[in-house]
Chain A
Amino acid sequence: MATQAILGLFDDASAAADAGDALKSAGIPESDYNFLTDVPYPEGALGEGMERHRLYVWPLLGGLIGLIVSLVIGGITPMAVPMTIAEKPILAMPPLAVICYTGALLGAILFTVVGVIMAIRPNVRNPMSDDRISQGLIGLLVNAGADQSPRVTAILNEAGAVDVTAR
């Protein structure tokens, strides 16, 4: 069945949260609606469920990979070209530690960013946006089936939406 995106705009966080509750009571699953804001509200302020993520895995993985790569580069390079300088060991631990420290952090940072981008699930082609949201209104975007659209529109209007539009 074809679905339609309906955007309700609210000028108050409580009204938007009430609208979310009303949708839930009407049997619309939480996965079918989403709040859109121009500012990070404290988690749960709009009545939404807690989001789970595994972002913390990425820096750990990246750090490990960075460390291994640094160990390989830092270890193989002096062994490949053994230059004896001032009777110092060819494979010296302090320089290797410096290279590994930097490499592990670089890996952790790069992987964190990759993890964030993957977790955000970019939708470059068709992002839902409305300039009024960036001006302080709170959007409540509902993906409803064609038969549910009139009911969703009525719920949003009853909850105090300043505007409801179908997208």
Chain B
Amino acid sequence: MQEGKVLPAAQINRDLLRSILETPRWFWPVVSLLGAIVLAASITVGIMINTGLGITGLNYKVVWGFFITNFVFWIGISHAGVMLSAILRLAKAEWRRPATRAAEVLTIFSLMTAMIMPIIHTGRPWRILYWAFPYDFARGIWPNIRTPLVWDPSAILTYLTSSTLFVIIALVPDFAVLRDRTTGWPKLVYTLLAMGWEGNPRQWKLQIIAGVLLSALILPVFVSVHSIVSWDFGMAVAIKSWHSTVFAPYFVVGAVHSGVSAVVFAMILLRWAYGWQDYIRHEHIDALGRLLIVVATGWFYFLVMEIIFGIYGLEGDELAVRALQFLPGDYGVAYNVWMIVFVGITYFLPVILWLPKAWRRNLWIMSAACISVNVGMWLERYLLFVPGQANKQFQTFTWNDYLPQWPEALIVGATFAFVSMLMLLFSRVFPLVPLYDIKEGDILRTEMQVGRRTLTATFRED
């Protein structure tokens, strides 16, 4: 049964535009702190470019460490937007309404953050120009389109472009509300962004059809992006343990698992920070918790299959990597301990916390479960990529383990500050909960009597 009460449109405007029309006292100190962390990381990147990647823990054997782990992690987070917005919009799920915008915006910022990682990781970022676009006609340097390292930027840029346009189209009616409630240069900016929106039936119809069309078009991009990211690894023939046939769906489901968890945590934070208790309600968090149980179990299935397929072939090199992952050995890093921690905090702990309805409605417990998932999913990527490279291989005469150094730790930590800062700055200028979506849900709601119970129902037009 749907909860909450129908609110007048004026109150919805007042509540959801509060983050834009008023500045909370905590806002600028928090943004400044996050900005300082980002600045420190930017200086570190400068030092790293100047000095070389030698200041990191990367070495001859382990060339993909924290940065690439973080790249895959943020790409994963970006999958929340489409999962929640496009799929639930097409399915006309009522409880999607307060979550869609935050999820879409998180998609954009996490994609932007993810794209920074491989650029930093090259050590000489300007050389990336010779690797993708634009073509260097003058010197005849053309990209090799047969490598997934070219498919990857093309898929990610397509996803970023699509997600950004999706958010802009969905924001147009809200820009018009802001246009009518602001003065001076903000009014001028919102007027341009609103593109002459009046809210007539023709505009609404086109806006809704555009949402449906874009949702349907972004979904295949969403599936392809993390599949291609998995092929970055799957097509690296030299590294064992990266070639399971379930790699692509395993990555996609894992991305949804971490992404939706991140959105739930972000929604809880927004509810607390801006007092949106009437909009982000316990029923929404509860529904997302139920969805997460299914997603987590799907992800766990692929995790187990990936391991079983690895072992099933009984190839020596593959078994050596699996032994490195699961058995105590003479390596400096106890991957097997981390493996146990990762599976525990990514699946068993959160699913146990999500099973009882009362716990799904407890925001502290939900926050803890969602943070646990994301720490675990970060570890998952690390444990997927590093042991395969650190493994001693046939005809390899040097090998190394990987011990991340302070620049990597600082830069990776700062990416979380970067995304948080961008989300806060976005909430300062654009509504993070779609006004018209909430209002539409309210006008289609009614109460109906079924026997001795009065139920809240929402009418839906097919």
- Give A contacts to B, CB under 8 Å: 34-43, 46, 48, 51, 53, 55-56, 59, 73-74, 77-78, 80-81, 83, 85, 88, 92, 95-96, 98-99, 101-103, 105-106, 108-110, 112-113, 116-117, 119-125, 127-131, 133-136, 139, 141
Check A123–B196 contact: CB distance below 8 A. Answer: yes
Q: Is the CB of A81 within 8 A of B8?
A: no
Residues of chain B with a CB closer than 8 A to A41's CB: 201, 204, 443
A102 touches B205 (CB 8 A): no
Q: What are the residues of chain B within 8 A of A85 when measuring CB–CB? A: 144, 146
Give A130's nearest chain B residue, CB to CB.
Answer: B180
B181 & A108 in contact (Cβ 8 Å cutoff): no
Contact of A133 among B192, B199, B228 (CB under 8 A): B199
Chain A binder among B216-224, B345-353, B387-395: B216-224
B418-448 CB mask vs A (1 if < 8 Å, else 0) is 0000000000000000011001100100000
Distance (whole angstroms) from the CB of B426 to the closest CB of chain A: 20
Contact check, A113 vs B169: say whether CB atoms are below 8 A apart. Answer: yes
Residue of B nearest to A135 (CB): B10
Encoded as 1 (CB less than 8 Å from any A CB) or 0, chain B from 186 to 204 comes to: 0000011011111111111
**Total number of residue pairs linking A and B with CB closer than 8 Å:** 182
Asked if A38 and B210 make an inter-chain contact with CB atoms under 8 angstroms apart, the answer reads no
Q: Mark B137-156, 1 if CB is under 8 A from A, else 0.
A: 00010111111000100110
Whole-angstrom CA separation of A127 from B180 in the bound complex: 11
Cβ of A8 to closest chain B Cβ, rounded Å: 14
**Contact, CB under 8 Å: B199 / A37:** yes
CB pair B154–A134 under 8 Å, yes or no, is no
Q: Which residues on B sit within 8 Å (CB–CB) of A73?
A: 145
**Given the contacts A40-B440, A127-B194, A98 and B162 also touching, CB distance less than 8 Å:** no
A96: which B residues are within 8 A, CB to CB? 145
Q: A46-B201, A83-B144, A99-B145 are in contact. List 20 more A-B contacts (CB 8 A).
A: A34-B200, A36-B200, A39-B443, A40-B208, A40-B440, A51-B202, A53-B202, A55-B206, A88-B146, A99-B151, A103-B158, A105-B162, A108-B217, A109-B161, A109-B214, A112-B213, A124-B192, A129-B198, A134-B180, A135-B8
B198 touches A36 (CB 8 A): yes
Say yes or no: A59-B201 contact (C-beta < 8 A), given A40-B436, A98-B151, A136-B9: no
Residues of B within 8 A of A109 (CB): 158, 161-162, 165, 214, 217-218, 221
Q: Give Cα distance in the complex from A154 to B249, angstroms.
A: 64
Point out the residues of chain B lying under 8 angstroms from A130, CB to CB. 180
Q: Indicate whether A116 sits within 8 Å of B210 (C-beta atoms), given known contacts A53-B205, A128-B198.
A: yes
Which residues of B sit under 8 angstroms from A51, Cβ to Cβ?
A: 201-202, 205-206
A36: contacting residue among B154, B181, B199, B436, CB under 8 A: B199
Structural contact, A55 and B200, CB atoms closer than 8 A: no
A128 to B196, CA, bound (A): 8
Question: Using an 8 Å CB-CB cutoff, how does the interface string of B10-26 with A read, 1 for contact, 0 for none?
Answer: 10010000000000000
Minimum CB–CB distance for A49 against chain B, Å = 9
Given contacts A40-B208, A134-B177, contact A35 B196 (CB under 8 A): no
